[in-house]
Structure 1
C-alpha cells in the first residue's frame, strides 16, 4: 500500500509563507495577522503529521485523514501560488525614480490592468509638467498634484476617487480637466481661479449632485457636457453652508455668459420654479452648441447624446459600483401646476438656430413650443407622458432622425404634426416610435407628400394602432407588440431589405403579399408570435434573403414551402418552436450558401435530417436545449467548411456521430450538459485544426482519450463540472495531466485556472 507523505509538502508551504513577495501581498491586503498565525501553527502541525505518517499503516482512519489533508494541502499551495501571482501583478505604481526628470513636460501613465497607484509626493518635482494623464486612478489623488502650477491638461477619467484635492483650484493655467466616468465623485471644488479653463468633462459623474457656484465666471469654458440644476436651498440651509465654508451650488443662470460648444445636457429641470431663471440661461445665443438635452426627473440619467461616447460609457458602467446619489430620487410626477410651469420653462430654454440635435426627456408639459431650428438633424422625445400633441416639426428641412418614446396621451397623429408645407419631413430617414398606448389613428392630410425619404421605421408597443400610412421608400421595417391587423398596411411595400415582426399574440399567418412583393429582402426576423402556424406560400421568392431568424413561435410545426430555394441564405436561427418535430432534408438541402445554423430550445425536435450533407458552406453549427433529440446525423462528414460545433443540453444524445471525424476544418468543439455521453471518441485527434475544446456537465465521462495529447494546435481547454476529469487532470498529479499539459490555456473546474 502506497504511503502518504505530507511533511515535505508542508515544508514547501511553510517556505512560501516566508517569501518576501508573499509578505508584501499580506501587507497590501492587510492579511499580515493571518499569515503570522499560519507561520506559528505550521511547525506544530508538521510534528503531528510526522507522527501520523508513522501510524497510517496500522490505522485506516489516520490514512483517510491524511488523504483528505493532502488534498487540502495541495489546494493551499495553489492558493499561495495565486497570491504570489497577484502580488506580482498588483496595481501599477509610478516609479519614484521618475522624479529625477525635473524638466518633464508630458507624463502619460498607462496601467495594463486599469489599476493605478500614485505616490503621495511624486509630483512635487514636476514643476514644468504641462500634460498629465492619470486615467484609471483607484484611490485618492495626492495633494502634490496641486504643485504642478503650469499644468495645462489633466486627464483623471475612469477613476474611483470621491473628491478632488481642494488645492486643484490653484492650477490657474489649467485648460482641460477630464473627469469622464468618475462615478464616485461627489462634488467639485471651486474653480473660479482657473480662469483659462476651456474643457471640463464631467460625463458619467453619476454621484455629482451639483456644480460649484460661480462656474459662470469661467468665460473661456467651451466644454461642459452636463449641468445639474440644484435643489433650491432654504435661507437657513444657505447660512449653514456659508458658515461651514461649503460651496453654494451653481444656478442655471450661470450659463448666461458661457460660450459653450458641442453638447450640453441640463438635468433636473423640475427644480426650476422661476421662469426668468430659465430665460437667463441664454441658450438661444450659444451659436456653437450642436447638441442639447433638456431633462426632467431621473429619466435623463442614461441619455447618451453623442454616439461616439457609447464605448467609453459602456466601459465605465461595467466597472462602476452602486453609488447612492441624485439618481435615487423618486421620479417626478406632473401636476396641473407644474404642467403649466414646465411649458413656460421649456419655451424659455429656446435653443440656438444652429442646433443640430435636441433631446427632451421626462417633460411634464402638455404641448411643445414652436421653435425655429432650420439646422436640426435629430430629435429625441422620451417619456413626455402628459403631452397631448406632437411638436410642429414637419417643416424642418434637414431633420433626418426622429425618436419618440413614452407618449401616453397621444391619441392621433394629424395635421399639426406635418405642418403647412406641401412636402412634410422632406429629409427624414429614420422614425422610431415606442410606447404609444393611446394612439389609434395615423392620419394623412390630403394633397401632401409625407416622409418621401423615409427608409427606416421602428414601431413598438402601439397596441391600439390599426393602420399605417404607405411609406413607399421604406427599406427597414420593425413592428413589435402591436395588433396583427396593422400588418395589412405593409403589403404594398416593395423595397424592404429588413423586416422584423415581434410580439404579435394574435398573428396566425403573414399577410399574403408581404413577402411576395419584397423579393429583395435580405434579413427576416419573426419573434414571439405564439399562434403563428404558417409563413405563407411565397417563401421561395426570397432569393436574396441572407439572414432568417424564427424564435418563440410555439405553433409553427413545419418549415415553409419553397424554403429550399433560399440560395443566398447565410444564417438561419430557429429557436423555441416547440411544435417542430423534425427538420426535413429537402428544405435544408438547398441552402448551399448557409454558413451559420443554430437550432435552440425546440423541445419536440427528435430528428435533424440527413439534408445537412448538402450544407458544404456551413461554418458554425449549434444545437442546444433539445431534450428529445437522440442523435446527430452521420452526414456531418460532408460539412467540409465547418469551423465550430456546439452541442448543449441534449440529454438523450449518447455520442458524437462517427462521420464527424472526417471534418478536418473543425477549430472549436463544445459539448455541455449531455449526461448520456460517457466517452469522448478516440478519433478526436482527427480534428487536426482544433484550437478550442470545451466540455462541461458531463458527469459520466471517466477519463480523457489519449487523442487529446495528439491535438497539436489546441490552445484552449475548458473542463467544467466533470468531477472525474477534474480529479484526473489535476496539475502534475492527475492521471490525465500528461494528456493536457501541452495546452497553453487550461480552465479546469469552476474555480481553478491553470
Structure 2
C-alpha cells in the first residue's frame, strides 16, 4: 500500500498511538489507518502538527493532555486551505467522534476577535467531548460549537469559565440551535461559572456539581424577588395543586429531560418550572436552595439532602409515579405533597434529620406498611454533626 506521496507507509496497519512527553517528536509517521491518538505534552509541538492534518480524516478518538496554557493553534496557510486536499480535510472528511482535552488551549482562542477557520471545523462529526482544566475556556464557545453534532459534553475544573459570551440581540439570533443534538451535559468544579448556555430541546440528562457561583439553570437568574413570590404562593399551591383534570400546560422548552442532578451550587436559589418529563431529580448540598416547582407526574426518584432552606415539596404536584423518596438533613422541610394521587407508586421512603417535619401526610401514612423500605428514624431530629460544626465554627 502506498502513502499519499507514493511512499510505502511506515505503519500500514497501525490503528492506535500513545505518545507521552516526547518533546523532540513533532511529526507522526505515515499510518493511513490510524484511529486512536493519545498525546501528553508540555508544549503542543506534536498536537499542532496533527490538528488539521490528513490524520483528522481517519482518527475517531483523540485525547490531548497539554500543560501549556498559552499556545494556540496556528491558522493553516492559504495554499493548504484552497487546495483540493485541504478543502476535503476542512469540510468533508473529518471523522473524529470522541475527543478529550486536558489543559489544552489550542482549541480555544485567547481573543474573541481572531478570524478563524478551525479548529472545530475538523470536528463536524464529534459526538462526545470532554474538556478538563482548560484555563483558556472563559465563555461557552457558541461560534465554534455552532456546527457540531455533539451528543455528550463534559466540562471539569475549568476555573475561568464564566458563561455565555456577551452578545448584542442581533448576534444572538439562531443561538438556540447551539448543539441541537446534545443529550448529556456534565459540569463540575467550575468555580467561576454563573450561567449555562441555552440548552437544546434534545437534552435528556444534566449533572452539575461544585459550581458555587451558578445562579441559573434554564437561562435566567432566580433572584430574591422570584423566591419571595414563590414563598408567598406556597399556602395556596398546597391546597390547589392541579389534579388529572387540570388544563394541559404549554410544552416545556426541554421536553426530553429525564435526569437533573445539582450539587454544591451555593448561589442557586431554586429551579422553577421543572419539565414534566423528569424521572430522576437530585438536589444536594446547595446552601441557598429554597424552592422547586413543576408538575412531575413522571418522576420516579426524588432525593434532596443538605438543603437547609427548602420548606415544602407541595409545588411538585402529586408525583403519582414516584417510587423512591429520600430527604436528608433538610431542617426547614415541613410539608410534603398530599394530593389524591400522591404516593400511589411509592416503594421506598427515607426521611432523616428534618426537624421541622411535624407530621407526614395522611396519604403517605396509609402506605407505610406496604413499603419495601421505610426509614423514618431521626425524622424530626437535628443533625448531630451540624451541632458539632457550629460549635467548632
TM-score, normalised by the number of residues in structure 2: 0.68
**Partner of residue 598, structure 1:** 303
* 1:547 to 1:578, Cα distance in 2 relative to 1, 3 A: same
Please show how residues 250-649 of structure 1 align to structure 2 within 5 Å: 352-361=11-20, 363-382=21-40, 384-390=41-47, 392-393=49-50, 394-396=53-55, 397-408=57-68, 411-415=71-75, 421-422=86-87, 423-424=89-90, 426-436=94-104, 441=109, 444-445=116-117, 449-466=121-138, 468=141, 469-470=144-145, 471-482=147-158, 483-485=160-162, 487-488=164-165, 492-511=178-197, 514-515=198-199, 518-536=200-218, 540-560=252-272, 562-563=273-274, 566-583=275-292, 587-588=293-294, 590-605=295-310, 607-611=311-315, 614-630=318-334, 632=336, 634=338, 638-649=342-353
SS at match of 2:165: helix
Partner Cα separation in structure 1 for residue 32 and residue 107 of structure 2: 28
Q: CA deviation at 1:464?
A: 2.3
Partner Cα separation in structure 2 for residue 508 and residue 567 of structure 1: 25
Q: CA deviation at 1:402?
A: 0.8
> Deviation string for 1:310-337 (max 9, x for gaps)?
xxxxxxxxxxxxxxxxxxxxxxxxxxxx
Partner Cα separation in structure 2 for residue 477 and residue 427 of structure 1: 18
Q: CA deviation at 1:351?
A: 7.7
> Deviation string for 1:106-149 (max 9, x for gaps)?
xxxxxxxxxxxxxxxxxxxxxxxxxxxxxxxxxxxxxxxxxxxx
SS at match of 1:412: coil
**More deviation, 373-382/438-447:** 438-447
Q: CA deviation at 1:453?
A: 0.8
CA contact (8 A) 1:458 1:479 kept: yes
* 1:573 to 1:366, Cα distance in 2 relative to 1, 3 A: farther
* 1:527 to 1:351, Cα distance in 2 relative to 1, 3 A: farther
> Deviation string for 1:152-180 (max 9, x for gaps)?
xxxxxxxxxxxxxxxxxxxxxxxxxxxxx
Q: How many aligned positions are there?
A: 316
CA contact (8 A) 1:392 1:416 kept: no
* 1:522 to 1:621, Cα distance in 2 relative to 1, 3 A: same
What CA RMSD, in Å, does the superposition of the two structures yield over aligned residues? 3.7
SS at match of 1:390: helix
> Deviation string for 1:49-97 (max 9, x for gaps)?
xxxxxxxxxxxxxxxxxxxxxxxxxxxxxxxxxxxxxxxxxxxxxxxxx
**Partner of residue 381, structure 2:** 676
Partner Cα separation in structure 2 for residue 625 and residue 472 of structure 1: 42
Which structure has more relative contact order (CA 8 Å, sep 6+)? It is 2
TM-score, normalised by the number of residues in structure 1: 0.37
Q: CA deviation at 1:655?
A: 5.9
Q: CA deviation at 1:429?
A: 0.7
Partner Cα separation in structure 2 for residue 672 and residue 403 of structure 1: 48
**Partner of residue 4, structure 2:** none
**More deviation, 474-483/613-622:** 474-483
Partner Cα separation in structure 1 for residue 75 and residue 65 of structure 2: 20
Q: CA deviation at 1:556?
A: 1.6
Q: CA deviation at 1:598?
A: 1.0
CA contact (8 A) 1:438 1:462 kept: no
Max radius of gyration: which structure? 1
CA contact (8 A) 2:296 2:317 kept: no
Q: Which runs of 5+ in 1 are unaligned?
A: 1-349, 678-696, 698-754
Partner Cα separation in structure 2 for residue 621 and residue 649 of structure 1: 14
* 1:485 to 1:579, Cα distance in 2 relative to 1, 3 A: closer
Partner Cα separation in structure 1 for residue 25 and residue 38 of structure 2: 15
Q: CA deviation at 1:387?
A: 4.2
* 1:556 to 1:668, Cα distance in 2 relative to 1, 3 A: same
CA contact (8 A) 2:318 2:337 kept: no
Higher helix share: 1
